[in-house]
Amino acid sequence: MKHWMTTAVAALALAMPAIAEARPVEFERAARPAGGAVVLPVGKDGALSGLSQDADKAAKGAIAAAIATAGFKGEAGKSLALYGAGPYSAVLLVGTGEGAKSAQDLKTYGGVTAQGTSGWKTPVIVVVPDAADVAQDASVAAMGAQLGAYNFGKWGKPAEAGEPAGGLTFLAKDAAAAKRTFDRDGAAVVAGVSLARDLTSTPSNIKSPDWMAQQVVAAFEGVPNVTVTVMDEAAIEAAGMGALYGTGQGSARPPRLVAVEYKGGKAGEAPIAFVGKGITFDTGGISIKPGPNMWRMRMDMAGAASSAGAVLTLAKRGAKLNAVAVLALAENMPDGNAIRPGDVLTSMSGKTIEIMSTDAEGRLVLADGLWWAQETYKPQLAVTIATLTGAVGGALGPDYAGLFTKDDALAERFLKAGEASGEMLWRLPIHKNSLAAMKSDVADIKNGGEGAPGASVGALFVMEWAKPETPFVHLDIASMAWENSGNATTPKGAVGYGVQLFDEIARGYEAK
């Protein structure tokens, strides 16, 4: 392994706000709740079964009567709150439609439960629906509850005073097994997603590349089997990373490259590498963006945040493999020292790049980050993840991230992992004509191509830095990193997209 000059990380000067602690969860053996506040699953057309039906009997039919009166159809993800129904002080009815069929259905059930009972100050008993082929239903629902209850809060403001919401107790056939599964796996996923959301949500006047590097160091303090390396701008320049250095040279806050290495597998075994775009704010540089919605460019480092979050999840659950997150961090600003359209940068690989647009900067930092990761770790899989192009949103909307790879088997593996994790992917094409559009007269390649599909051009550019021997996937998450209205497991704002997907991918490699 090559050794690079690194810089010591300064003491934290500006920490993130005190994020509210995750709502506590417990597990008990499944039985009809005797009283108090409860959550009950309701099937299609308001059907009650199992413990929900038993609870209605205890309430002398009051729950079924309320369902009929309200016209509640039990649609998946919908809910209805009742108060004073028989022995129950409060009842939240959560629809399951045709029934929970996947882990994602259970996470949605848990998220609706947490959000629908957020104002309840007493402990809440949660009856969990069964889902076919899902082990430990209650544990998965509890994970969804904590994901759905996430709250970044307001910067610089203490958490709102008042009594917190009551804890959630999930009923399980084997409560001890459900708790073990949650403590080992569910809590680790929540920690990784929360880290990614916290970093992405932080305002960019605070979130410089150095600040983000410091936060990542702090997040992994004391986590076993993890080493964090931070390269400052001098080390980046010395390593020949002209694309990363050039992207950040217009900012008064210089770039950083961070590597979070987790060793949970066999000694010497090649890791899987997640390389994340980390533009801590993107003005577009000299090719400045239009004003509307530029504020959201605080989230242009979401790929880097999710890469770090994924490795935190793997480390906290003790995954039996080696993994590394490489965060290529820079701020893209239109200073007098910024790069210009028409400039030529030399990347770490020696490949030269003609700049067509300074707003196509994410692919620049990924080029050097990916090459460095391959040179340093020789990974058995390399994945780049980035809020790279607006074009991917035009193609896929807010339902899928774009998946690009030349490897059909890898594509199938990632598509299945997307379905299992609930972080959906859609494979998009790469074509030689898109690469031809990036042919440069003065450099090896241009960072854009006129008339070619934007998302595919971005992906093909990054692929130019993937070595032939490295299995490689590129993910464009530009339309998935920020939730404008919120849903059951993702409150409005930063999503942390990629953490659950990468955890699922890692499980496949662990099973080899």
Contact 434, 446 (CB under 8 A): no
Rounded (5°) CA angle 240-242-248: 130
Per DSSP bridges, beta strands 401-404 and 322-332 are unpaired
Query: CA 114, CA 432: separation in Å to the nearest integer?
Result: 48
CA dihedral (458, 456, 416, 318) in degrees, to 10, reads -10
**Residues involved in catalysis:** 289, 363
Element (H, E) at 459: helix 454-463
User: Hey, what are 78's tokens?
Assistant: 């919908």
Residue type, 478: A
Q: Which residues pair with 40 in a beta bridge?
A: 93
What is the CA 419 to chain-centroid distance, rounded? 15
DSSP string, 386-415: E---THHHHHHGGG-EEEE-S-HHHHHHHH
Neighbours of 20 (CB within 10 A): 15
Closest CA to 447 of 330, 361, 328: 361
Q: Are 481 and 465 in contact (CB under 8 A)?
A: no
Residues 456, 446: Cα–Cα separation, whole Å:
14
Q: Specify the pairing of strand 168-172 against strand 25-29.
A: parallel
CA distance 377 to 272: 9
Across the beta sheet with 401-404, what order do the strands follow? 226-231, 256-263, 322-332, 272-282, 381-386, 472-476, 401-404, 425-427
Distance CA 366, CA 349 (A): 12
**83: β partners:** 90
Q: At what angle do helices 137-148 and 187-201 cross, to 10 degrees?
A: 20
Exposure b/e, 376-404, CB count within 10 A at least 16 = b: bbebbbbbbbbbbbebbbebbeeebbbbb
SS3 at position 505: helix
Name residues whose C-beta falls within 8 Å of residue 324's C-beta, 6 or more positions apart in sequence. Answer: 259, 260, 261, 262, 271, 272, 273, 274, 311, 373, 377, 379
Distance of CA 43 to the CA centre of its chain: 31
Q: How many CB atoms are located within 10 Å of the residue 11 CB? A: 6
What's the start-to-end Cα distance of the chain, in Å? 25
